[in-house]
Amino acid sequence: MTDYNSRRISAHFKVVLSFGIFFVLSFCIIYWGFYQSAISTVRRTAIDSLKMLSGQIVQQLDKTFYQMQTIARLFAIDPANRELLDTRGLTYLEQLKKYWVLDEQLKVISSYFSDYHPAIYLSGDSLLAREDTRFLDNKKILEKEGDGRFSGLNFSFWKYTDEFTSVNGRTEGISYYHKIGALSDSPLDILVIRLEVSKETILGIFHAGENSGPAAYYLLDNDREIALADDGAPKADFRLFRELPESVEINGLRYHLFYNPIRTNDMLLAAAIPESYYNGVLLKHQFLYLTLILLLFAAFFAVMIFTMNNLVRIENEKKRSELAALQSQIKPHFIYNTLDSINWMALEKGNIDVSKALVHLANFMRKSLAVDSESVTVNDEIDHVRDYVAIMNSKSDCKITLEEDIEEQVRKVQTVKFLLQPLVENAVIHGIYDAKKGGGIIHISGRMKTGRHPEDTVEITVSDDGAGFEPASSSGGLGLYNVEYRLRLFYGHGSGLTIKSRSGAGTSVIIRWRQN
C-alpha cells in the first residue's frame, strides 16, 4: 500500500512539475513577444508623433524663409527704391535726405517683421555706405562672397551660418541676400538687400508650444552639413549627416534619424531620437506589462477550467438527452403502429374515407415529430400543408381548396420547419371557418426576388377568401408570432411577416427572407 501511495505522489509530482515548466516557458515566450511588440509600438508611436511635430516646425520655418525672400524681392523690384539708392553726383544734404527715407523704410520692415533684420549694402563712395545695423559697405560682402554669387543672372543666395550685427548686438543666424541692381559696370557699384533671422528665433520655432518631444533638431544646409543645432542637441561633426543616415552614434549613444525638407531654400530639418528613449518608456511600463501577462494567464486558466467543467456538463447532458431521445422514439413508434392497425380495420370494414384520413394524419405526425433536421425544403412544407388540408376536409363539411403557384426554384429552397402550416391553419380556423360558408380557397404563391442586396429574397404569400379582420383589432395570434420569431432568429434583419387583411375581404400573409 505504501509503495502504491508513493507511486501516486510521484505521478502527481511529475504532473505538477511538468505544468510548472510549461507555465514558466510559456510565460517567458509570451513576455518576450510582448516586450518586442511593446518596443515596436513605442518606436512607431514616438516616430509618428515626432513626424507630425517636425512637420509643423518645417511649415513654420518654410513660412519664415519665404517671407524673408518675398520682402527682399519686393523691395528690390520697386523703382522708387532704386532711385533712392542712386546717390551719384548728389550733395551731402541731398544724400542725407535719401538716407532718412531709406532708414524709415527699413524701420517699417523691422516693425512689421520683428524677427528679421534688414540691411542694405551700397557702394563705398555713398553717404549711405557706413558700418551700422542697416547700411553697410558692399566691399565687405564682395570680399566675403568673392565666388561670383552675384555674377551674370545670379540675383540672390542664402548664407546658412552667418554672423551679423542686429539692434541687439552681434548674433548668428541665417541670411538671405538679394541683388537690387548696379550703378555702373564696376563690381563695387552693386546694391544688395539682406534679411537675417537669428538663431534664437529659429530655436524658438523648434520649441514652439513648449513641447518638442524627446527629439533633438539639426538644421542642414544644401550641402547637408549642420548649419544650426538645437541647444539640447548633442555636439556632432558638421559633416555627420552628409549621407543622410537612418541612425548615427554620437558620444557613444545611438540615435534614430529622419528628415523633412524645407522647400524655400533647400535646407533639411533632421530630427534625432535617442535609442535609450524607447527603453526608458518600456521600463516605466514594465510592471504594467508583467501584470497584464499574469492577468492573461490567469484568465486563460480560468477559461480552461470553466471549459473543462462545461464539457463535462455538456457530455452528461448529452447522455441524458440521448436517453430521452431513445425513450421518446417509443411514443411515436407506438402511435404509428396504432394508426396503422386502425387503418387496416377501416379498410376491412370498407371505410375508405376514414383510411385516407388516417394516412394523412400519420404523414402529418411523422413530419411533425421528426427530429433529424432543423430545416426542410419549401416543397416539404407544401406536402405538410396538403396533409393538413386533407385532414381538415375529412372532418368537416366546409371544404377547403388548396391552390399552388410556386416557382420551381423556390420549391428547392431550404427553410425552417413548420413555416407554412401555422399560417394555413390560421387561415382555415380564423378565416374560412369564421366566414361560415360552404368552403373556401387558400392560395399559396412563391417567388424569388432580387433587390439591392446581393442575396436573393424569397417571398411566399398565403392568402384566403375568409372572414378577414381589421389589422388594428388583432395581433395575429401565437402561430404567426412563432413563425416570425423563428424567421428572424434564422435569417436575421430583413426577414419577417407582413399581414394584409380587411374585414369581409380575406387575409394575405407575406413571408420574406434573404438566402444567406
At 465, which CATH number?
Answer: 3.30.565.10
Residues 139 and 85 in one domain: yes
Give the cell for residue 275.
Answer: 535609442
d(CA 381, CA 458) in angstroms, rounded, equals: 14
Bridge partners, residue 511, by sequence: 460, 497
pLDDT of residue 196 exceeding 60: yes
Report the candidate in 361, 409, 408 with the shortest Cα–Cα distance to residue 386.
361
Q: Is residue 124 part of a domain?
A: yes
My answer on whether 232 and 261 are in the same domain is yes
Residue 263 domain boundaries? 1-55+215-314
If you average pLDDT over residues 225-240, what whole number do you get?
A: 84
SS3 173: strand
Q: Is residue 378 part of a domain?
A: no
SS3 at position 471: helix
* Calpha distance 149→384 (Å, rounded): 100
- Of 119-128, 246-255, 259-268, 337-346, which one has max mean pLDDT? 259-268
Number of DSSP helices (H) and strands (E) in the chain, helices first: 12, 17
Q: Which of 156, 179, 203 is the last residue of a domain?
A: 203
Beta strands in 352-428 (DSSP E): 375-377, 399-406, 414-416
Burial zone of 120 (CB within 10 Å; 0-12 exposed, 13-18 middle, 19+ buried):
buried
Q: How far is CA 464 from the centre of its chain?
A: 52
Whether residue 449 contacts residue 410, with contact meaning beta carbons closer than 8 Å, is answered with: no
> Cα(450)–Cα(454) distance, rounded to whole angstroms?
8
* DSSP H or E run through 17: helix 2-77
In terms of domains, do 159 and 223 share one?
Answer: no
Cell numbers placing 472? 388594428
pLDDT band at 48 (very low <50, low <70, confident <90, very high): confident
Q: Are 175 and 162 in contact (CB under 8 A)?
A: yes
Q: Which residue has the cell 405538410?
A: 384
CATH number at residue 109: 3.30.450
Distance, in Å, from the CA atom of 54 to the CA atom of 32, rounded to the nearest integer, reads 32
Whether residue 349 is contained in a domain is answered as: no
Domain end (from 175, 203, 231): 203
* Any domain includes 244: yes
Q: Is the pLDDT of residue 287 over 60?
A: no
For residues 296 and 410, membership in a common domain is answered with no
Q: Name the DSSP class of 231.
A: T
HSE toward the beta carbon, residue 126, CA cutoff 13 A: 29
Q: Return the minimum-mean-pLDDT range out of 195-204, 267-276, 376-385, 466-475.
A: 466-475
Instruction: Say if residues 285 and 256 touch (Cβ distance below 8 Å).
Output: no
Of 56-70, 76-90, 419-433, 482-496, the least confident: 482-496
Claim to verify: residue 95 and residue 172 sit in the same structural domain: yes
End of a domain among 314, 345, 376?
Answer: 314
Cβ atoms within 10 A of the Cβ of 216, count? 21
Q: Are residues 227 and 193 in the same domain?
A: no
Mark whether 223 and 309 lie in a shared domain: yes
The kind and range of the H/E element at 142 are helix 138-144
Domains held by the chain: number: 3
Domain shared by 258 and 166, yes or no: no
- pLDDT confidence of 19, banded at 50, 70, 90? low
Answer yes or no: is 387 within a domain: no
Helix H or strand E encompassing 167:
none
Cell, residue 164: 551679423
- Shared domain check, 505 and 471: yes
Answer yes or no: do 91 and 188 share one domain: yes
Q: What are the cell numbers at 453?
A: 442586396
pLDDT score, position 406: 92
363 part of a folded domain: no
Same domain, 242 and 275: yes
Instruction: Give the residue-averaged pLDDT of 503-513.
Output: 88
Q: Which residues of 150-178 are buried (b: 16+ CB within 10 A; e: fewer)?
A: beeeebbebbbbbebbeeeeebebbbbbb
452 is a domain residue: yes
Is 65 contained in some domain? Answer: no
Do 415 and 499 lie in one domain? The reply is yes
